[in-house]
Amino acid sequence: MSEHTSAEVDAIVVGSGINGLVAAAELARAGWSVLVAERNSDIGGFIATEERTLPGYRHDTLHWETGRDGHDVSQAPLQTLVAPAAVVDLTAQVADDPDFLLEVAHLEAWEQEHGPLPEGGWLLYRTGWAVRGADAAAFTNDGHTPGVSVECARWLAEKSPLAGFGVETVGTDAGAAPGFDPAFPCHSLLLGANKWGLTSLRNLDKLPATGALLIVSPLPIVGGSGSPARVLALVER
C-alpha cells in the first residue's frame, strides 16, 4: 500500500463503492487530487463481482444473474430486458414455512387458472419476503429462506418458455440449497440453461398475476455474470 500525507491530496473518499467512485471521479474532474481509501482488495463495493455460490458464477450482492457459459450481462438481449411477467403468489405458504419450496405442481395449478406462462417472459415468485428487507437478520433468517425444488428448477430450465425467474429473497435458490442434489439448482440448472435471474425484488404485491410488462436495466458489465439492476413494471390501468 502506498503512503500519502494530507498535504498531497485535496480530498479523501472513504469506500470504493459506486457512490465513492463517482464522487472521486467528479472531484478529480474538477481538478482536485483525490485519494480513495478501501479496506478490501477489490474496488466496487456492492457492484464488485466475485464467486459467491458456484465456481464460474460471478455476481454482486444485489443483482441480476446469468449463466456462466452463455451471454454476459452486456450481451443481454433487448427482448429479455423488456418482457411480460407472470406472478405466482405463495405468500401464505411461506408464512407457515420459511423453507417452503416452489414445485412444478404450483406452476401447473397457476397455468390452469391464468393460462400458459409467457413465451420469453419472466416468472416472478412472490413470497412476502420483501417485508423483511429493512432487517438484515430477518432477511437472511439464519439460512431459512424460501426457494425452488430441484425438480422445479429443472422444469423451469428445460420445459418452461420463460427467459428468466425473479424472487424477493437474497438469491434465486433456497437457503437450504447447498444441501440439494445438485446444490443450488437454480444456479446450476436454470442459469446453466442460459436463462436469467433477478433477486431482492420489491413491490410484487402490487402486480397482477398476468399483464405486467417488466423492464430490467442491469449495468452492461463486459464479462460479468451479475450486476445491480433497476427493475420496473408497467401495469395497465
Q: Which three cell numbers stand for residue 204?
A: 410484487
Q: Which three cell numbers stand for residue 209?
A: 398475476
Which residue in the list 4, 59, 63, 106 is annotated as catalytic?
63
Instruction: For residue 78, count CB atoms less than 10 angstroms from its CB and return exposed for 0-12, middle for 13-18, buried for 19 or more.
Output: exposed
With beta carbons less than 8 A apart as the criterion, state whether 36 and 22 touch. Answer: no
Q: Which three cell numbers stand for residue 169?
A: 429473497
- Specify the length of the chain in residues: 237
Q: Please choose, from the candidates 143, 67, 145, 132, the residue with its C-alpha nearest in 3D space to the C-alpha of residue 102.
A: 145
Question: Residue 174 is inside which H or E element, if any?
Answer: none
Q: Please choose, from the candidates 82, 65, 93, 86, the residue with its C-alpha nearest in 3D space to the C-alpha of residue 193.
A: 65
Q: Please choose, from the candidates 208, 205, 101, the residue with its C-alpha nearest in 3D space to the C-alpha of residue 147.
A: 101
Catalytic site includes residue 144: no
* Residue 231 CB-half CA count within 13 A: 29
Q: Please choose, from the candidates 80, 86, 45, 79, the residue with its C-alpha nearest in 3D space to the C-alpha of residue 66.
A: 80
* Residue 86 CB-half CA count within 13 A: 21
Catalytically annotated residues: 63
